[in-house]
Chain A
Amino acid sequence: MDLKFKNKKITGILSILPSTIVRFEDEMVNYNFSAAKSLKLKMAMGYNTHHVAKEGQCSSDFCIYGLQYLFDTGLLKKEDIDALLFVSQSPDYFMPPTSNVIQGHFSLKHDIICLDINQGCAGYEIGLIEAFMLLDQDSINKVVLMNADVLSSKVSKRDRNSNPLIGDAAAITIVEKDDEGSTIHANVQMDGNNAFALMIPAGGFRLPSSLKTSIMKEDEAGNFRSKDNLVMKGDDVFNFVMREVPLMIDHLLECANINKNDVDWFMFHQPNKFMLNKLADAIKVPRDKMPSNIVENFGNSSGATVPLNISFNLGENLVNGSAKVCLAGFGVGLTWSSVFMNMKSLKFNRIINL
């Protein structure tokens, strides 16, 4: 689905990381790999360190910490927030919505829209699209988009497919109206036929968590996980990304009438280094225009990886200058989505730690 928006802009990005850092070498003993094989994979996949939340730290804790930072530093005023979007797959509760919990924590005005969106790896693009649509309303001038996930606690420590790369993080993006803004192009695709390629089988209403769902079992590849843990059909997801994402990017840039060479940065979701390098090759863009260093430094934090990627790799460059960026996310749902826009003169673009 092609989408187009006018007069919208991103005015700030704040990424919030847990201060607990785990090293791949320290976890290697948990996996059914020889040390030599693990170290080869480390190089290919970009495993190194990942940031994980402490026990009991929830997605909202990171958002609240980040919002408090923005209020304290004068970068955001409470009364200016017209909509609060929370995109996550690890909400604090089934009910109430985490966005309402955050609104309540800060006693934000009642004349506001709070909305939780259940999305993962494409959650940044989906969240931005929702923010752009809300900003079409006369009464909405500023949207706070929060992408946060603390899924590390849902991954088995003995699952070599997922544990080495999982990370926790949050990001707060301020989206506003812009009188001078150029057109923003976006694309969204979904395939529910493959919805279970990435899932946590137990813990919802279909299969509530129980003693039975917590039993660890070994799969064909030697991974140990329970039905309470995240499970990913890695081969299927890899093939889906290689098949669909290059087509989507080509189509998006064609709609935006821009040559690939004129895009400054391809800021993509960060599943692993191997996949991103193959994706850059498939899209036929230089690998150094598509940063792939988020997994090795912080881990894959689902919908927060794209803003974290922007904060980490572009930082002050977007505060003092501008860039034509192509954003893309792909994963759970299955969902794949992309946004092409010009980003310039952000008020802030930084990382803080909790």
Chain B
Amino acid sequence: MKERIISILSNLRPEFDFTQPLNFIEEGMLDSFDIINLVTELETTFHVTIDGIDVLPENFASLESIMNLLKKNGAE
């Protein structure tokens, strides 16, 4: 799961290294429109539907938070 998320993120913003333990939001690596594209990509890749109420910046701030969000929505 982690590798596939990194691949999606890198495809979205190739100028950043998403393997680094950084806060993607605070560091400006993802903006609100990136999050919308990311949600769409994650839903397609992992065959899940992410609740709108969970589309919050903090849920996309790190690889761990993205993985937790996916697991919460049934991804394996």
Taking Cβ atoms with an 8 Å cutoff, the residues of A that contact B are 33, 37, 40-41, 43-45, 160, 220-221, 234-235, 238-239, 241-243, 274-275, 278-279, 281-282
Contact = CB atoms under 8 A, between A and B. Distances in A.
A37 B32 contact: no
A235 B32 contact: yes
Contacts of A40: 37, 40
B19 interface: no
Interface string B5-43: 000000010000000000000001001110011011000
A242 B33 contact: no
A352 B46 CA distance: 44
Nearest to A160: B33
Nearest to A283: B52
Interface string B33-71: 100110110000000010111011100000000000000
Contacts of B31: 221
Contact of B53 (A37, A234, A282): A282
Interface residues of B, number: 16
Main secondary structure of the interface of A (DSSP, over half): helix
Contacts of A274: 36, 39-40
A241 B52 CA distance: 9
Contacts of A234: 32
A14 to B, nearest CB: 33
B39 to A, nearest CB: 8
Nearest to A242: B52
B32 A221 contact: yes
15 contacts: A37-B12, A37-B33, A40-B37, A41-B36, A44-B39, A45-B36, A220-B28, A221-B32, A234-B32, A235-B32, A235-B57, A239-B56, A274-B36, A278-B52, A281-B51
Nearest to A33: B33
B38 to A, nearest CB: 10
Nearest to B54: A242
Contacts of A241: 52
B33 A281 contact: no
Contact of A278 (B12, B55, B56): B55
> Which 9 pairs, one residue from A and one from B, show the smallest C-beta to C-beta distance?
A278-B52, A242-B52, A242-B53, A44-B40, A40-B37, A282-B52, A221-B31, A235-B32, A44-B36
Contacts of B28: 220
Name, among B32, B52, B57, the residue most crowded by chain A CB atoms within 10 Å (CB to CB). Answer: B52
Contact of A37 (B37, B51, B55, B56): B37
A242 B49 contact: no
Given A221-B31, A235-B57, A281 B49 contact: yes
Nearest to B13: A37
Nearest to B50: A278
B35 to A, nearest CB: 8
